[in-house]
Chain A
Amino acid sequence: MLVPLSYNLRSLFVRKSATLLTVLGIGATVAIVSGVLALQQGFRTMFTSGGREDVAVFLRPGANSEGDSQFSRDRGLNLIKSVAEIEIGESGPIASMEAYLAVLLPPSRGGVTNVPLRGVQPMSFEIRKGELSIVEGANFQPGSDELIVGSRLVGRIQDCYVGGVIQLNKTPFRVVGVFEHPGQFGGEIWGDLDRLLSAMGRYGPNRVIAKLRPGSEIGAPDPVAVMFSDDPPDPEPGSLAARLLKDNEVPAKVYTEKQFLASQTVMLTFMLAGLGIGLGVIMGLAAVFTATNTMLSALAARTHEIGILLAMGYRPVPIFVSFLFEALMLGILGGLAGWVMALPFNGVQAGTMNFQTFTEMTFAFRVTPIVLGIAIAFSVMLGLLGGAWPAWRAARLKPTDALRKA
């Protein structure tokens, strides 16, 4: 027969201060781990929501990021014409050359930061139809010194608002619109490809992007596997990726956009996950110690009661279960406290540098169901680990010894 659960709930209530302190302690630990996870989630949401399977990204062979890559204008055009997998729209291939450059701009918080600047052609908007929308002002006129800024930059970077003027080298550009994009582009500045290239004194675009015909396969190896292997896997023989790599006219490396974005963020993802796990383990240890202390003190205070329970005929196993249940309740309450502490961070905007692209990324904490799930599982584990030893001790008590204790 099991000990009634109400017995445990009441004893948690009787020892209010110890229960509360333990719950808050576990809560703080859970909140920290949830916070780091929420950051990782926000970061992931931002990048995966921009990564499409039907969009191909072409880079110079050997380049690992847009900044590394470079094509001349002619080669870019050549590439667009020669790849049969690119979808053809009413006004030609749905492909665009893009220039990418990190420019130093002052954030509102002070100092400087590298903001991604992207020179695009009209087809970029055709490719992003449905993803990207102008929410204020208008789009830039092709061939003009006008810019549009991602909505996540507004308020974070100086001059990023409609009517603002951003000086790029010697040319002042006027901001005429604000656009929204859930992915990385929402933190970028866009303008006309040729105007930006000439203002910056650059001679060619960095990458080509294109919409693929339905059903086309690229056959590129997983770029993350390529990054971390001394003997990188090759593209599938005969695929577009294999063919382009060896092309005589314009050799290129091609990925789906989804693959490409995963490769651009793998380091930061690893770092955040590592930080979350590291803090979770170390802080978790301390939280387990606290829970153990609380349960040991509960045991000491209730030794006499346990003697009575044993004398009434309760077996050691139900006593063990009963104590473990009490610890579990501490854990769950701690997890809930952790939720309460972590939830206010949901949606808070953060900005930091991505080491791989060396540019500022703006993204928000996202306390997703996954974060909440991990948090509660973590707190349950803390409670159970903390309760195991005291519960074992309780179950091992001899009724005569236990009854003797006042």
Chain B
Amino acid sequence: MSSFKLVWRNLMRRPLRSILTILSLVVAIFLICGLRTLITTLNAGVENADSRRLAVMSATGLFVELPMKYQADMERIPGVELTTKFQWFGGYYRSQKNFFAQFAIDPDTMFDMYPECQVPAQEIEAFRQDRTSCVIGASLAKEFEWKVGDMIPIIGALHPHPEDKAWEFRVAGIYHSDVPNFDNRTMFFHWTYFEETLKQGGVPPGVGVFSIRVEKGANVDDVIRDVEDVFHDSEQRVDCATEAEFQRQFVTMFGNVPLFVGWIGSGVVLAILLACVNTMLMALREQTTDIGILKALGFTDASMFGLLIAQSLFLCVLGGALGLLVAWGTQGMIAERLGTMFPGYTIRPATFGFAAAVALGIGLLAGLVPAGRAGRLRCVEALRGTD
């Protein structure tokens, strides 16, 4: 009888137990993939940041507006190639549960600054022509079944329309992005429309964030220092940071959440490790007589150690592989459910690797104690009886 067959037969001695153990592993590995992806998704913005792009915001906080005139001052700084401005609109479509981000932007510079925001050329042109129009992300278009030409009413919670009604935007184009730090669930509309409408109510808008692109070859640190210095004595001081740093600051705002996710993950691993050890100890107890016989027949201690370890590894590798498959298969569904709260949920190859290593580790650890005992069992004792 080949050794694989021996392993297989032993596992099939209690098929239900093997299946339940495998299912536990499926659950654990699925959870590990999911939890770890929450963390990697959070950090995706940092890793994918463009090193030549800078973000400028008020040194006081994201909610403090900067004067529009700052843009011209920044463009005079040596090393600055392109600038563009954003303002958070903070509105919602019909009710707050339909939340998505909207930004007032400058259509002449925004698409140059963010080539990852892909819009067909004629749609960009249409957008530039019509100042009450907007471009929306592909996921947004899908979710609300909006298409080019539709009118979207948005209630301005943060920037109420001076005529006390909803703002209306015509969809001029639909954008696509393949990078995780530029989500597909945002609406961009004309700065001029924003500015002119707000001026009717007597309050001109301010700028939330300016983006700067640094010339090739220019020293990024010098530009950052110059930008902060220029506005040191102006009405609002600014904080200028690379895109990566800006994203990192954002991640730190999640505070202890990544740590908690880590704790939960450790708890999952612990629970499943205990379950597997339990299964393997039961297996050892049942196979004690067999091991006695095999040893009496001349099988070595090492091969008995291997017999138990192989069973444990088999369960964990199979369970782990199925768990990876489930995690991979449910990825799209989970991404959809997480929506705006957590855009860009995609499991990375490294995460799959990590989860596979965890499964393998559980298999080895869970097999170790019973396998050690099996190896050390004395033939006579083993033959004398089970519990």
Interface residues of A (CB under 8 A from B): 15, 17-18, 21-22, 24-25, 28-29, 31-32, 35-36, 39, 60-64, 67-68, 101-104, 107, 109-114, 168-170, 200-201, 226-230, 232, 271, 279, 282-283, 285-287, 289-290, 292-294, 296-297, 300-301, 350-353, 355, 358, 360
Contact = CB atoms under 8 A, between A and B. Distances in A.
Contacts of B274: 21-22, 24-25, 28, 290
Interface stretch (B115-123, B150-158, B168-176): B150-158
B235 interface: yes
B264 A32 contact: yes
A169 to B, nearest CB: 5
A350 B341 CA distance: 20
A178 to B, nearest CB: 21
A26 B341 CA distance: 31
Interface residues of B, number: 60
Contact of A289 (B24, B237, B257): B24
A296 B286 CA distance: 13
Contacts of B236: 169, 201
B145 interface: no
Nearest to B160: A62
Given A104-B60, A113-B252, A289 B31 contact: no
Contacts of B156: 62
Given A63-B157, A101-B64, A169-B236, A282 B278 contact: no
30 contacts: A15-B387, A22-B274, A25-B271, A32-B267, A60-B160, A61-B160, A63-B157, A104-B62, A107-B252, A111-B251, A112-B253, A113-B253, A168-B60, A169-B60, A169-B64, A170-B237, A226-B96, A279-B264, A282-B30, A283-B271, A285-B23, A286-B23, A286-B28, A286-B275, A289-B275, A293-B275, A293-B282, A294-B278, A297-B282, A352-B257
B16 interface: yes
A358 B257 CA distance: 15
Interface in B195-227: none
* Residue with the highest number of chain B CB atoms closer than 10 Å, among A62, A101, A353: A62
Given A103-B60, A350-B260, A283 B27 contact: yes
A28 B28 contact: no
Contacts of B348: none
B296 interface: no
A232 B62 contact: no
B95 A227 contact: yes
A286 B24 contact: yes
B329 interface: no
B253 A114 contact: yes
Interface in B227-267: 235-237, 239, 248-249, 251-257, 260, 263-264, 267
Contacts of A39: 260
B356 to A, nearest CB: 18
A64 B157 contact: yes
B90 interface: yes
